[in-house]
Structure 1
Amino acid sequence: MTGPQEDGAPEPAATTSTWRRVVRRRDPGAPAGRPENLYRVVAGVALGVVLLAVLGAVLGPRWTPEPLERVIEVETARTAIGAAPSLRTYDVREVVVTVPLDGASVQARISVPVGAPGPLPGVVFVHGAGTGKFAQAFVAQARSLAEHGVVAMVPDKRLDTYTTRHRDYVAMAQDYLRSVDLLRDRPEVDPDRVSVYAESEGGWIAPVMAVEDPAIEGVVLVSSPVVPPRQQAAFAVDAYLRNTGVPDAVFRAIPRAVGMTMPGGGFEYVDFDVEPWQRRMTQPVLVVYGTGDASMPIVQGALQVRDDVAAAGNEDVTIRYYADADHGIRVGGQVAPTFLRDLSGWVLGLPGTRDAEPHVAGAQPFQPYVAGPVPQPRWLRDGDVLLGLVVGAPALMLLAGAAVGTTRVVQRTTRRRSPPRDATHGPRLFGRGVAARLTALAAASVVTVLALIWYLVAIARLAMDYERNAWVVQGGWVAVRLLGVVAVLAAVLLARRVHDVHHAGAAVAPGVVRTLATWGC
């Protein structure tokens, strides 16, 4: 047995080697520096990425819309309505009236042809989504109808019962029917010849009006969604994203965002089905789409309207497609003149134009996928839960850091006021290296989520503008995924540090606050 060495004497090699091994084993902050440690870190990151990928797949669902196999045959490129009368042009006089509703009232502008022999046909306009003021909506359409001898009425949309969360299309139909009744009472109007023009969201309202008031002479459905709002929204997002060129993995966000229940409740109208109402329509229908409108199922919608009204024995469906026209049947920012001409001809020619040929005319439409039911997420289908996770997780991490910081301040203050008996004993801290890695994990996770949110907003803007940008779409996606890998790396390094600290017999997170903060992050 050897005794202690004298000062200045060299330490035996065996003793030095043993001491270094003990220090390295007991000091969790000592650098590893061995290749096998690097391999373990890389393997841990790879395993973490795979586990998260599996978790994402399990949470589901995938987004795989079915190709549309049905086609619609366009008979001719000329959109003119057969049996339509020759159009004359009149001056227009405009008046503003008040439409009394149940518990409210709205203003409406009526455009009256001056000098046209009456009584005249009339048209009531039904707004699409949005605020819907007559000063901005349907200006060109109403003016054109009036110039050609049709009394056009554009009411303001009722907004006290119309919100993002709540929309009752059946009740809205009753409100618009008040405008129909008022227009019928005008001395210039033939009460038996009042039709309805509905655009976009109005396509879920006009069929209800037609069923509730069979005396309506005709229905014009412009850019009608036809399918329930949830299906139309998913279809539109899919079309926009495909045009933007986003990676396939991003499409998984469609059913997760559109298929879940909305945070805060409400939104019952997203599953409103207009089909039962359309199957009871007996009026002639003019269906209008622009081939440049990617947000609507322009082939499926026309076919479904035709199929639905046929259930009521109604075969009077006229379908028109306008080349390169957008959702509002605009080309180059202006409402297509041929559409305005055809609209006036169809309304003025009723009832003779109800089954006039050609039944389908214009540009050949193309719709690659079906606007079908949206699959719901298996787990995170509750929007409140998802919102709570997205907001609550970063909040929990910030709260954890604030709690640890507050505890540290309190400990320092207490130490100054009451110095411990053992001057070498300070407030308890995290195990060596744990705090830094814990902070890195929290920061990397939050930054990854924020980057993902930025990315989704950026591609949403590109999609809505129908633009492409490879730097944002592909480059941004790569950046988000790299940040996610960094977060996994931070988690692996933290796990290894916690293991080393625990193996060395030291406390990983002394105290209740630090323990809760660690597990919270």
Structure 2
Amino acid sequence: MRRAPRPDDRPPRRGARFGSAYRLVASVALGALLLAVVGAVTGPTWDPAPLEEGIEVATADTAIGGAPAAVRYDVREVEVTVPLDGATVGARISLPVGVEEPAPAVLFVHGAGTGRYQRAFLKQARSLAEAGVVAMVPDKRLDTYSTAHRDYVAMARDYLHSFELLRDRPEVDPARVVVYAESEGGWIAPVMAAEEPAMAGVVLVSSPVVPPRQQAAFAVDAYLRNTGVPHAVFRAIPRAVGMSMPGGGFEYADFDVAPYQQRMTQPVLVVYGTADASMPIVQGALQVRADLAQAGNEDVTVRYYEGADHGIRVGGSPTEPFLRDLAGWVLGLPVTGDTPPRVAGAEPEQTYVAGPVPQPRWLRDGVALLVLVLGAPVLMLVCGLAVGVARVVERGRSRRDPAAPVRRFAPGIAGRLVALGGVTVATVGAMVWYLLAVARLALDYERNAWVVQGGWIGVRVLGVGAVLAAVLLAHRAHDAREEGVPVAPGVVRRVAASGVVAASAVLLVVLAYWGVFQLNI
């Protein structure tokens, strides 16, 4: 005889299904909201101040006032060795042939990187020599230079050895030796000038001026804005730039060149390209003028070159007007140091201030962050292996003793634990991929809406999926307890389940910290 259906056997009513779905959606929304709050309170926001002060450009013509008429010379090159304290470096000197000696000279100070004279400043040095200026490009000393460790004061002392060698050359007028510094060299040349008042002048090309940490944040901000990333991604700037890197070092990130610039008494030529998004091209020139004024020095000439990027390059090479003006300024010193126009060229644009970077409050330690991101998946894997080993042991025991208890997770628990761990790790992987992809686009000044916008949506969808997996797991565990079924029987399963949940929670907090769940709060 067929058993009459009991009330409990009836399928859930439509209203009950709707209520269950509503509770699920509400739980996911609440979980995402809580993570958004966690992300907001665990680190700083990013809201750079607009630059309100501008710089007045007198004329579009960049020609240096008081520069002598151009003359062209043949060039002879010689290679020399520069003795340093505890090391030596090679150098190339480009000599104008037939120039009336002694001639003015320029020493080049490298920007970031390896800095070999075989590849660096080739066109600038050749152009100066052809105009009648002795040009020296030394190798950068690399045994004391790395990504993590840089001492700009010590580097200045090393370059001063090259300065002294150049000044002592018979072809060179020792009273007319100028230092040309590009990019990172802008933190070195002012130290040299402060230590060597007899220096005839300083050329600051694409100089950061502000401390490295501030310049890095400014550059990242500009690159990301150019790439068109969602507003939410900008929160990563202070958290990345303000973070201490694994392995230590990076003490130079807060090096302040201003005290050295405030001791400079030499004429200074400040040069920027209007297409250089990585440098504070208005703020930099204003700060150099203000710093030099502290020493009573008003001999500052500023030039902006239309469409030139970092290093005053157009199409990969230094622009010809810049090379002409550089030679004219050097040859005409000291007259060209204070001859109008003081500011000339294209109109520069800088929207935001390169200012102090807010410091992270929680996950500032890069080592701790790396341990969390790498350690959580490892813990999940160990937990999975432990359950696998326990299952093998229990099967062997049951074959020997059929009465031995068989332990299993409550129905649905194992699969949801795997889903929680897998989706959470996948979200972290997607976030890392996204940041690297955006960094590549930003550095190449490229836009790709599929990567920038679509990738961010994908990361956030995965993040919501991880929250959904956590909610489903929590609901199933609650139901199992209500039914009187052990959720994770035995020590191994209980510890393994706790380990996966804890590791997933850690990764969800890390994801929240990097803005995956933020709601602009």
Instruction: Give the deviation of 1:432 after TM superposition.
Output: 1.2
Determine the C-alpha separation between the residues in 2 that align with 1:317 and 1:415. 88
Matched, 1:420 2:401: yes
In the alignment of these two chains, the number of paired residues is 498
Instruction: Give the deviation of 1:51 after TM superposition.
Output: 0.8
Determine the C-alpha separation between the residues in 2 that align with 1:511 and 1:364. 73
Matched, 1:109 2:92: yes
Aligned residue identity for 1:501: A
Matched, 1:215 2:198: yes
Query: Which residue matches 1:4?
Result: none
Unaligned runs of 5+ in 2: 501-521
Which of 52, 56, 67 is 1:69 aligned to?
A: 52
Query: Which residue matches 1:182?
Result: 165
Q: Residue deviations 1:5-64, cap 9 Å, x none?
A: xxxx454x4xx516749xx99xxxxxx983322111111111111111111111121100
Aligned residue runs from structure 1 range 66-465, under 5 A: 66-416=49-399, 419-422=400-403, 425=404, 427-465=406-444
Aligned residue identity for 2:488: A
Query: Which residue matches 2:494?
Result: 515
Percent identity, aligned pairs only?
71
The DSSP-based 3-state class of the residue aligned with 1:34 is helix
Determine the C-alpha separation between the residues in 2 that align with 1:421 and 1:290. 82
User: CA 1:297/1:19 → structure 2, altered by over 3 Å: closer, same or farther?
Assistant: closer
The DSSP-based 3-state class of the residue aligned with 1:295 is coil
The DSSP-based 3-state class of the residue aligned with 1:486 is helix
Determine the C-alpha separation between the residues in 2 that align with 1:183 and 1:246. 48
Aligned residue identity for 1:392: G
User: CA 1:172/1:41 → structure 2, altered by over 3 Å: closer, same or farther?
Assistant: same
Matched, 1:17 2:6: yes
Determine the C-alpha separation between the residues in 2 that align with 1:426 and 1:35. 39
Determine the C-alpha separation between the residues in 2 that align with 1:86 and 1:410. 92
Determine the C-alpha separation between the residues in 1 that align with 2:83 and 2:387. 62
Determine the C-alpha separation between the residues in 1 that align with 2:396 and 2:194. 77
Q: TM-score, normalised by structure 2?
A: 0.93
The DSSP-based 3-state class of the residue aligned with 1:236 is helix
Q: TM-score, normalised by structure 1?
A: 0.93
Determine the C-alpha separation between the residues in 1 that align with 2:16 and 2:452. 39
The DSSP-based 3-state class of the residue aligned with 1:86 is coil
Instruction: Give the deviation of 1:168 after TM superposition.
Output: 0.2
Matched, 1:479 2:458: yes
Which of 19, 34, 43 is 1:60 aligned to?
A: 43
Q: Residue deviations 1:224-276, cap 9 Å, x none?
A: 00000000000000001001111110000000000122222110000000001
Unaligned runs of 5+ in 1: 1-8, 26-31
Determine the C-alpha separation between the residues in 1 that align with 2:332 and 2:286. 24
Determine the C-alpha separation between the residues in 1 that align with 2:311 and 2:79. 24
Q: Residue deviations 1:99-126, cap 9 Å, x none?
A: 1111111100110111111001111100
Q: Residue deviations 1:360-418, cap 9 Å, x none?
A: 000000000000000011211222222222222222222221222222223334444xx
User: CA 1:33/1:402 → structure 2, altered by over 3 Å: closer, same or farther?
Assistant: farther
The DSSP-based 3-state class of the residue aligned with 2:173 is strand
Which shows bigger deviation, 188-197 or 365-374? 188-197
Larger radius of gyration: 1
Query: Which residue matches 1:490?
Result: 469
Query: Which residue matches 2:447?
Result: 468
Aligned residue identity for 2:466: A
Which of 27, 38, 44 is 2:27 aligned to?
A: 44
The DSSP-based 3-state class of the residue aligned with 1:371 is coil
Aligned residue identity for 2:401: P
